[in-house]
Amino acid sequence: MDDTAARNPQRQQFYKTIDKSSMTPLWEVLANLVTKEPVSPAKPHIWRYDDVRPYVMEAGRLITAKEAERRVLILENPGLRGQSRVTHSLYAGLQLIMPGEIAPAHRHAASALRFIIEGKGAYTAVDGEKTLMSEGDFVITPPWTWHDHGNDSDRPMVWMDGLDVPLVNVLDTSFLEHFPKDEQPLSRPVDFSPDMYGGNVVPLGYEKQGKCSPIFNYPYSKTRETLEKMRKYERWDPCHGLKVQYIDPTTGDFAMPTIGTFMQLLPKGFKTVSYRSTDGTVYSPVEGKGRTVVAGQAFEWKPKDVFVVPSWLPHYHEADGDAVLFSFSDRPVQKKLGLWREQRGNEPASAPH
């Protein structure tokens, strides 16, 4: 609609008048407000570990984990600078913890995942239990649980944090509390939860606490083994290769209520069929080299890199050797709200579900 002041001074005057009452005409903004399909301000982007690791290590020389509370370099989507977002709804960062350091205990309304990029043997403690972490492990910090991290190994440890902070903030539901000491007391042995809940049994009369999986470390070795079995005995999905989603074994639902997490194996030479879905997705390769072509733009990746594919952009993956990719998105939220859609290859887009 051409509604410049010169053409339609009465309307422009009217807009100025109602502006004083904090009102504005829908017809001027409708086309941008309700789009025919998702138009994400997020851009596809890759952070190559070789490029950014020196910055992460430099941060280690400039500030302690205690001083920083969390020593993290935020992975800010180039289309969303200044907003601490990797996709429109999710946050990601690279956290460094040096030998002997402790990142002090706190809890917040936001949920966090850790995906271990470099190192072995640092721990995170969640609600009275420690887990030791290794490369490729997926670790959960459920909302409002005390958590502190420490590194008793002799090498730096780096992981990717993924949080639902932008979602929590759009709902104005942020809370944060600091524990009176750096470390919380422990009430269970190290890695009790996977032993307790990873064997298809629960204590008689088990009542679920919160909405996350009671298992908070999903070790890479186990997931990798499953993918290898799938390679032999399961169908290869043309769009995803061999892909699993992490689940809460007590419900079968996603492991976290707001963030969906996935691991996929792309066998050597496999090229996926073009795919898009409404959940903007963050990937981190664990093994192998390859490329992901997002809306015609190729992103060459290798282990420890992080790249992001925004909502609804068509993309395909190509693996030079056997490749394994971890990924996360807000899919559980979209699915619970009946908003999630996908489009596989040349098929029509799915109905929302």
Closest CB to ligand 1HN among 166 and 310? 166
**Binding range to ligand 1HN, per CB under 6 A, among 161-169, 215-223, 274-282, 325-333:** 161-169
Shortest distance, CB of residue 76 to ligand 1HN, whole angstroms? 12
In this structure, what DSSP letter does residue 265 have? E
Considering beta carbons, is residue 149 or 315 the nearer one to ligand 1HN?
149
Residue 315 touching ligand 1HN (CB under 6 A): no
Q: Is the Cβ–Cβ distance between 92 and 162 less than 8 Å?
A: yes
Q: Which is nearer to ligand 1HN, 148 or 191 (CB)?
A: 148
Query: Segment contacting ligand 1HN (CB under 6 A): 11-19, 75-83, 158-166, 167-175?
Result: 158-166
Residue 72 binds ligand 1HN, judged by CB under 6 A? yes
**Residue 111 or 292 with smaller CB distance to ligand 1HN:** 111
Cβ closest to ligand 1HN, residue 112 vs residue 255: 112
Residue 94's nearest CA partner among 69, 76, 81 is 76
- Helix, strand and coil content of the chain, in percent to the nearest 5, comes to 20, 35, 45
Distant-in-sequence contacts of 170-175, Cβ < 8 A, 24+ apart: 170/89, 173/109, 174/108, 174/109, 174/110, 175/108, 175/109, 175/144
Radius of gyration of the chain (CA): 22
Structure tokens of 301? 């990746």
Q: Give me the helices (H) in 145-256, please.
A: 165-170, 192-197, 220-233
Site for ligand 1HN in 89-118 (CB under 6 A): 91, 93, 95, 103, 108, 110, 112
88 or 108: whose CB is closer to ligand 1HN? 108
Nearer to ligand 1HN, 142 or 257 (CB): 142
Q: Is 165 an interacting residue with respect to ligand 1HN (CB under 6 A)?
A: yes
What is d(CA 157, CA 282) in angstroms, rounded to the nearest whole number? Answer: 20
Question: Measured between alpha carbons, how far is 203 from 188 in angstroms, rounded to an integer?
Answer: 15
Q: Report if residue 341 touches ligand 1HN, rule: CB under 6 A.
A: no
Written as one string, the DSSP assignment of 66-87 is HHHSS-EEE---GGGTTS--SS
Alpha-carbon span 130 to 39, nearest angstrom = 42
Residue 224 beta carbon to ligand 1HN: minimum distance, rounded to whole angstroms: 25
> Which span (42-50, 88-96, 205-213, 321-329) binds ligand 1HN, by CB under 6 A?
88-96
Q: In whole angstroms, how close is the CB of 170 to ligand 1HN at the nearest point?
A: 15
Could you say which DSSP state residue 236 is in?
P
Number of residues that bind ligand 1HN (CB under 6 A): 14
Q: Closer to ligand 1HN at the Cβ: 96 or 239?
A: 96
Q: Give Cβ neighbours of residue 27 (< 8 Å, ≥ 6 apart).
A: 1
Q: To the nearest whole angstrom, how small is the minimum distance from the Cβ of residue 327 to ligand 1HN?
A: 19
Per rule CB under 6 A, is residue 70 in the interface with ligand 1HN? yes
CB of 112 to ligand 1HN, least distance (A): 6
Smallest distance from ligand 1HN to CB 156, Å: 15
Q: CA-CA distances (angstroms) from residue 211 to 88, 202, 324?
A: 23, 16, 28
3-state SS class at 146: coil
Residues 118-147 that bind ligand 1HN (CB under 6 A): 147
CA distances from 29 to 9, 17, 25, 42 (A): 18, 17, 7, 20
In whole angstroms, how close is the CB of 147 to ligand 1HN at the nearest point?
Answer: 5
Residue 20 beta carbon to ligand 1HN: minimum distance, rounded to whole angstroms: 38
Q: According to the binding rule CB under 6 A, does residue 86 interact with ligand 1HN?
A: no
Binding stretches for ligand 1HN (CB under 6 A): 70, 72, 91, 93, 95, 103, 108, 110, 112, 147, 149, 161, 163, 165
